[in-house]
Amino acid sequence: MTRAPVVTLMFVHGGGLCKDCWDPIIRRLKESPLLAGRAEFVTFDFSWHGSKYDHSVAADVDLSNPDKPRVNHPARDIVAWAPQEVWQQVQQLRADQRARGESGKTPLIGIGHSMGAMALWKTEITHPGTFAGLTLFEPGYGIRTSENDYTVDFLVSLALQREVTWPTRLAAQNYFENLRNFARWDREALAAYLRGGLVNQDDGSALLACHPLIEASLYCHTPLYLSTEQQRPQCRINFQGGGRSKVYNREAFEGMATRHPHIYRTRPLMAGLSHVMVLEDPAECAHMVLGDLKELVPAGDTPLQSRMPFLVTRALLSNLQLAAKTHSSAFVVQISSFLGNITSNTNDTVGYFGEQYGYAASKAALNMITRTLAVKLHPSDIVDVAFHPGYVDTDMAKENAIKATLQPSGSVATMAYRQALS
């Protein structure tokens, strides 16, 4: 019998894109120990995008000011219709879960980019408690003025230059693969975009699902802006941004994190990435998503962080027994953490423990498994020991509020020295 997932992840794409754009990130998340076999992954296409393409309504193009082209279309009012579609997807998801005999109450975490991030955020504001957490890659936000709408001028101008049809799908693929504006895109991400963003026609030609004029109209929308509604969400919201982005409203998001730290948090900017970071570096974005999920995904009865070391030790038991007979002893070294030490969880260390519920629980479980193995294997001259490397300056510690100063080389040297003394 297949076990029900412990968490559901809903991925919501940005304007002009499609649900397939998330595939490179989802692939990596499915392979992670935290989520492997434990999560349900949900994607969908917004109206006028991907599988829901619709070119039936003509757009109105205003070129009265050549430096500030503007486009009007029913898709333009994204702050109104996009959150409504997210809410409809949530309702359908819950209905499908109940139809499968599940509770329909699995924790739901939203991951969105640009328009999709804004739509998730607005949905949680309108229906507080819908999500257990949100990871938002640069949601559109703020008050647009004549002084700061230069990005709109730029994006609309780019969209107006884009082609919409090609004689063959291969011709369309070649067009995008050689387009300067797509040069920074990860090749797997570009292939995913083309997989869902191109529509095959009966005559063999290819059509761009989101018409460039419709995409241009999205950039002309009035952005989301919140006043008293900022404190309505009932879940943790993490803002992610690119170091090269001209869109990320860092000042506004950091202000929210200061005023409402129990709701909002800003993550370190991803160096070298622009507003379309989910397409430029899916690996880094997946890493950032996993960082946000550590405190949100339930650890489970036997987390992989503890179960896998046990299974590996058991699988290699005959080798360990042979080594012990040959060399008088054999060793199993488990890498633990001080976060697995229950007595270390105090008011003084809450900065470490307070955001690592699942990880801390998994390391506590690993410590107990290590102790049990140590007692059980001792008669066979097999030593099972847990090493705590310290709070080391690695990729894992980058997103934490408290900066790690211990270098990996120093950690290894200290552990080796202490082991030599024991």
Q: Average pLDDT, whole number, for the chain?
A: 90
Instruction: Give 347's pLDDT tier (boundaries 50, 70, 90).
Output: confident
Instruction: Give 366's pLDDT tier (boundaries 50, 70, 90).
Output: confident
Q: Is the pLDDT of residue 351 over 90?
A: no
Judge residue 269's burial from the number of C-beta atoms within 10 Å of its C-beta, 0-12 exposed, 13-18 middle, 19 or more buried: middle
For residues 346 and 363, membership in a common domain is answered with: yes
For residues 117 and 188, membership in a common domain is answered with: yes
Write down the pLDDT at residue 146. 73
Coil, strand or helix at 58? coil
For residues 274 and 336, membership in a common domain is answered with: no
Instruction: Give 1's pLDDT tier (boundaries 50, 70, 90).
Output: very low
Coil, strand or helix at 318? helix
CATH number for the domain spanning 330: value is 3.40.50.720
Q: Is the pLDDT of residue 137 over 90?
A: yes
The structure tokens listed for 310 are 């046990």
d(CA 196, CA 203): 19
Quote the number of domains for the chain: 2
Express as a percent the part of the chain with pLDDT over 90: 64
Residues 101-125: what's their mean pLDDT?
95
Instruction: Give 14's pLDDT tier (boundaries 50, 70, 90).
Output: very high
Write down the pLDDT at residue 355. 62
For residues 292 and 311, membership in a common domain is answered with: no
Residue closest to 216 by CA, chosen among 151, 120, 137, 146: 151
The structure tokens listed for 111 are 């991951």
Residues 115-119: what's their mean pLDDT?
99
Please, which residues have CB within 8 angstroms of residue 177's CB and are 6 or more apart in sequence? 190
Write down the pLDDT at residue 43. 99
Q: Is the pLDDT of residue 263 over 90?
A: yes
For residues 216 and 175, membership in a common domain is answered with: yes
Beta strands of 2-132 (E only): which ranges? 7-12, 39-43, 60-62, 70-72, 108-113
d(CA 312, CA 308): 6
> Which domain range does residue 173 map to?
7-296
For residues 287 and 199, membership in a common domain is answered with: yes
Coil, strand or helix at 42? strand
Residue closest to 107 by CA, chosen among 293, 306, 355: 293
Least confident of 27-41, 61-75, 401-415: 401-415
For residues 234 and 242, is the Cβ–Cβ distance under 8 A?
no
CA distances from 103 to 79, 100, 146, 234, 409 (A): 31, 9, 50, 21, 48
Write down the pLDDT at residue 397. 61
- Quick check: is 315 in a domain? yes
- Quick check: is 355 in a domain? yes
Least confident of 146-160, 206-220, 295-309: 295-309
The larger pLDDT score, comparing residue 350 to residue 196, is at: 196
The whole model's pTM is what?
Answer: 0.74
Residues 373-394: what's their mean pLDDT?
84
- Quick check: is 377 in a domain? yes
Task: State pLDDT tens for residues 173-192.
Answer: 999 999 998 999 999 999 99
Question: Helices (DSSP H) in 12-107: which residue ranges?
Answer: 23-31, 78-99
d(CA 211, CA 56): 10
Residues 151-158: what's their mean pLDDT?
94
The structure tokens listed for 82 are 């996009």
> What residue has token string 């699988």?
315
Please, which residues have CB within 8 angstroms of residue 111's CB and are 6 or more apart in sequence? 9, 10, 11, 12, 22, 120, 134, 135, 137, 289
**Phi-psi region at 360: left, alpha or beta (left = phi > 0; alpha = psi -120 to 50):** alpha
For residues 258 and 369, membership in a common domain is answered with: no
Express as a percent the part of the chain with pLDDT over 70: 90
Instruction: Give 417's pLDDT tier (boundaries 50, 70, 90).
Output: low
- Quick check: is 1 in a domain? no
Parallel, antiparallel, or unpaired: how do β-strands 206-208 and 165-166 relate? antiparallel
Write down the pLDDT at residue 362. 80
Write down the pLDDT at residue 104. 84
Q: Is the pLDDT of residue 298 over 70?
A: no
Cβ atoms within 10 A of the Cβ of 363, count?
Answer: 25
Residue type, 399: E
Q: Is the pLDDT of residue 415 over 80?
A: no
d(CA 111, CA 238): 10
Domain stop point among 296, 325, 360 = 296
Least confident of 23-27, 296-300, 301-305: 301-305
For residues 291 and 381, membership in a common domain is answered with: no
The structure tokens listed for 405 are 């100063």
Least confident of 21-30, 152-161, 401-410: 401-410
For residues 164 and 198, is the Cβ–Cβ distance under 8 A?
no
CATH number for the domain spanning 226: value is 3.40.50.1820
For residues 242 and 174, membership in a common domain is answered with: yes
Residue closest to 51 by CA, chosen among 219, 187, 279, 210: 210
